[in-house]
Amino acid sequence: MSVFSRLRPEVRGLLARQGIAEPTPPQKMAIPRILAGENILLIAPTGTGKTEAAALPLFNRILRDKGGVGVRKAGAPKGGAGGKDATGRGGGGGGPGGGVEESGRISAVYVTPLRALNRDMLSRLQGWGNDLGISVAVRHGDTTQAERRAQSLRPPDLLITTPETLQVMLTGKRLRRSLRGIKTVVIDEVHELAASKRGSQLSVVLERMVEVAGDFQRVGLSATVGSPETVAEFLAGPDRSCGIVRADVERAAEFRVVSPQPKGGDFALARRLEVDSQLAAQIRMIREAVEEERCLIFVNTRQAAEVLGSSFRRLGDDIGVHHGSLSKEVRIEAEEAFKAGRLRGLVCTSSMELGIDIGDVDHVIQYSSPREVSRLVQRVGRAGHGMGRISLGTIIATSPDDVAEALAIARRANAKELEETRPHRKPKDVLANQLVGLALDFGEIPLGRSFEIITRSYPFRDLSMGEMEVVAGEIEGHRLVYIEDGFLRRRRRSWEYYYQNLSMIPDEKRYTVYDVVGRKAVGTLDEAFVVNFAEAGATFVARGEIWEIVEVLEDEEEIRVAPINRGGEIPTWSGEEIPVPWTVAQEAGEIRARVARLLEGGRASGGGGGETGGKGGGCGGGEERDVPDGSGAGAGGEEAAGAFLMEEYPADEEAARLFLGMIKSQISAHLPVPDHRTVTVEGDGTHITVNACLGTQANETLGRVLSALLSARLGGSVALDVDPYRIGLETSRPLIAEEVAALLADTDPDHIGPILELTVKNTSLFTWRMVHVARKFGALRRDLDRTTVSLKRVLGLFVDGPIGEEAMRELFWDRLDLDRGRRALEDLRRGEIAITTSHPSPIGAEGRRGGRDVTTPQRADGAVIELLRDRIMNDRVILFCVSCRGWKSLRTVRNVPEVPQCPQCGSRMVAALKPWEEEEIGIVRKPEEMKTPEDRRRTKRVYRNANLVLTYGKSAAVALASRGLGPETAARLMRNLRRDEDDFYRDILKAEREYARTKRFWS
């Protein structure tokens, strides 16, 4: 019997009208358990009907309640919400049970992490609701005031919202009352929330809702979960049961790893786009794929999205761009254009990972390694969106390291070996935020009752009363609450603080980057980058181009820049540096080891098994998978190594050749190959590279320890650069590799924690964590003027309290891996990891070459000149005859004749004025006796302008149309007019940049 038969006739009729006869496997497994009121975590691939599996029982329950049938709620936690109210003074928020639902209350809430998902959910669920007579509404930050008021007066049966908006609803009188009817809360993409502070906040908010509605059913939905038991406990809370429904529908996924090499027309394409030939080959492959199928092209950074998108725009391809720095309107337009078929491809970041409805996707291309297994599974799951369809995923590897990493991730994805989900543990800024929320909920609440509510949530299950009292004392010190007689009480500032801190996403200013040459916005930069780096004259890279900062406008939150042709920093895009896990880096190291053995023709040696698992395992014991012996370092060994990569892993021939080339170069130089069981230290002088396949966070941990120890030993600063396979050190005084190897081998594993705590406090990274945490504690206002207040001095007040402790905890949680770093040092001491030194090697040098996922253009200057020329040619000028003073003509510079001439009197004394200089024409036309001294000066400038056009023709009009160039500056440029047109435009660019830099000093 179909599970649909358990649904009410109205719901079955809806399914019949939509032509849905049979439930999908997730629906078969989940619907009965949701109807029974269980808390469940439903894990199923994208496109297999997860939303319907949750929504159909919701509609069923709402219809039943409207019909007057009582419903039993999910089991209550320990110390449930019934009996006394939160103040402990009698009354009750209701406990489990139910009965006939009152009208005007929300029955179910559907929580999604993205507003875009709200739009998707609303369009789907509202249609069903209309059919069934059930009201469905959406509420988030962009909801209009009129809509909010309507929802307060007439609450919908089902509300779709975000975690942050749910916070608001608990503090409003009407909305709080409407939440009393809640029987079910669905959390979509629960894995995304579980690993973030947003999720920690939501877990407490759900417990605050229990105080209003009594306990309610919780349903979590996700396509990918690395730690189902942990996520289930996070969803329900540690004292409630939660079933795990794994609907592992066999949706075939095909992964391949490619690395297109330049050939044929790629070199001409590279010249046309002024990019590296390698990037041109990658662009060619993407274009070919998009011609055949509708593709999502995922990239890891917004910079990569913009560089690729810019190239496709120049080529006229139907490929759009979608990332978080674009406006909401632009993102919606891209989504709808792709869904409607106007775009064949969409270059996107993680902004498109979750289930936004964009229609059918045939193929997902991942540009550069996705860096995590779960990320690849989530992204490729967007392809073949539907039952029985194959998900096609292609990873374009951009370097030899990228090849090995992508192969390890693809194999692990097929084996369903996902990274574990790690919820935060006792985040103190979330605790501070939620204590204020509880004070607002109840006006006053005993600290003990607050403790009971908060510790029902998973992230705070181990919180002690003492720890909570310290945080409560901190927020009292910032005048956010009163604490008196064991009660937590709200105060006037509570409201302002709470509404300014609804989200736990770091509240960071975003500065608009404005190109003074192209006269358009380039993108945005994060506040940390601006504070630590941005000043006039500094250079950085954005959108694949190099820019020089002309000025920083603090009040307008704007950075004015000009394009140039020399090196610069890569801007920091918050949240974009995806760390490569230890397990992936270890397997990539193992691939190196296996290929090296095959190329050398030697017998298998070294460890294996353990954590990397799968084909050949990794470090930490266990048996290693047999591989065919190579037949020497010649063609036989290379053939065997290539076969291993293409048969045991999904590498194509070009990707295999690229990776083999790096290992062959290492072997040919008679240098050791660093792998999962071998660390090599190389270099002399001031540049040292430690090759270690330990992953991003473990390498950053060891790198920071090494830099601190070396800095103390040398008495000077040590620069650090880390990737998943290398630790780069640049010292103020020369070192030899043996010194660094000995220092690493001799470091006591138990000392690295204290060393890191001491040294991290002096970094800008820690300073900005402190800023964010202090804001969430209400200790710093968002609009604090950093130009008049020393942040370091202010933060020094908080470093030894809960604010400093939380900043340090978060830094260790997100950026470092103390356990793996300690374990690596222990393995070095036991000899389970070998450490050796070598001369500078091809593998070590690869880190300096392959650290970016988009190749910087070979000659950015050419693109800059072309941009400037195109802009000036499309600017407008007024041609005005100063002889007859009668003729004038507004036209683009492109349409100015090579030799301008007045059509009325035939004179060539024609001035080229900017459109806003039209007032000058009236002044020139005035009778001489009526002109003031200022009028005569301005008239003289117009005649000088005309003389330049008479002498130099259209070239003078080009110079005069440029930003900030008057006749005097233009005359200087024209005297230096060179034979090379590009040099002429370089002179204009230099003059424009100088004007932009100095204009604020002009009267």
Q: Percentage of the chain with pLDDT > 70?
A: 80
Nearest Cα neighbor of 544 from 520, 565, 514, 519 is 565
Question: Does the pLDDT value for residue 952 go beyond 80?
Answer: yes
pLDDT single digits (tens) 819-851: 999 999 999 999 999 999 999 999 998 875 444
Question: Does the pLDDT value for residue 921 go beyond 70?
Answer: yes
Q: Are 586 and 594 in contact (CB under 8 A)?
A: no
Question: Does the pLDDT value for residue 691 go beyond 50?
Answer: yes
Tell me the C-alpha distance between 101 and 103, whole Å. Answer: 6
pLDDT band of 325, cuts 50, 70, 90? low
What are the φ/ψ torsions at residue 178 (nearest 5 degrees)?
A: -70, -20
- Mean pLDDT (the chain) is 82
Higher pLDDT pick, 79 / 216: 216
Between vectors from CA 455 to CA 776 and to CA 172, what angle results, nearest 5°? 55
In 571-652, where does DSSP find H-type helix? 582-600, 635-643
Q: Are 55 and 128 in contact (CB under 8 A)?
A: yes
Q: What is the pTM of this model?
A: 0.75
- Choose the most confident range, by mean pLDDT, from 458-462, 784-788, 814-818: 458-462
pLDDT band of 218, cuts 50, 70, 90? very high
pLDDT single digits (tens) 390-446: 568 899 999 999 999 999 999 999 888 989 999 999 999 999 999 999 999 999 999
Residue 762: burial class (beta carbons within 10 Å; 0-12, 13-18, 19+): exposed
Higher pLDDT pick, 390 / 675: 675
- Residues 74-101: b if buried by 16+ CB within 10 A, e if exposed: bbbbeebbeeeebeeeeeebbebebeeb
DSSP state of 779: S
Tell me the C-alpha distance between 402 and 516, whole Å. Answer: 37
Higher pLDDT pick, 636 / 240: 240
Question: Does the pLDDT value for residue 785 go beyond 80?
Answer: no
* Cβ count near 710 (within 10 Å): 22
Q: Fill in the amino acid letter for 501.
A: N
Q: Which residues contact 295 (CB under 8 A, 6 or more apart)?
A: 286, 289, 344, 345, 346, 361, 362, 363, 364, 365
Q: What are the tokens at 22?
A: 């049979």
Instruction: For strands 363-367 and 391-396, give the pairing.
Output: parallel
Q: Are 524 and 513 in contact (CB under 8 A)?
A: yes
Question: Does the pLDDT value for residue 1002 go beyond 70?
Answer: no
Least confident of 350-354, 422-426, 760-764, 903-907: 350-354
Residue carrying the six token digits 């539907």: 386
Q: Which residues contact 748 (CB under 8 A, 6 or more apart)?
A: 825
pLDDT single digits (tens) 848-861: 544 434 433 334 45
Domains and CATH numbers, the chain: 3-246 (3.40.50.300), 253-414 (3.40.50.300), 582-668 (no CATH), 678-840 (no CATH), 875-1001 (no CATH)
Query: How much is the CA Rg of the chain, to the nearest whole Å?
Result: 32
**Model pLDDT, residue 453:** 97
Least confident of 544-558, 878-892, 938-952: 544-558
The mean pLDDT value for 193-201 works out to 93
Question: Does the pLDDT value for residue 94 go beyond 60?
Answer: no
**Model pLDDT, residue 449:** 96
Q: Residue 226: CA atoms inside 13 Å, Cβ hemisphere, count?
A: 20
Would the CA dihedral through 854, 584, 843, 698 be positive or negative? positive
Tell me the C-alpha distance between 588 and 585, whole Å. Answer: 5
Higher pLDDT pick, 915 / 405: 405
Instruction: For strands 295-298 and 319-322, give the pairing.
Output: unpaired
Beta strands in 24-69 (DSSP E): 40-43
Helices (H) and strands (E) in the chain, counts: 38, 29
**Model pLDDT, residue 699:** 95
Q: Which residues contact 19 (CB under 8 A, 6 or more apart)?
A: none
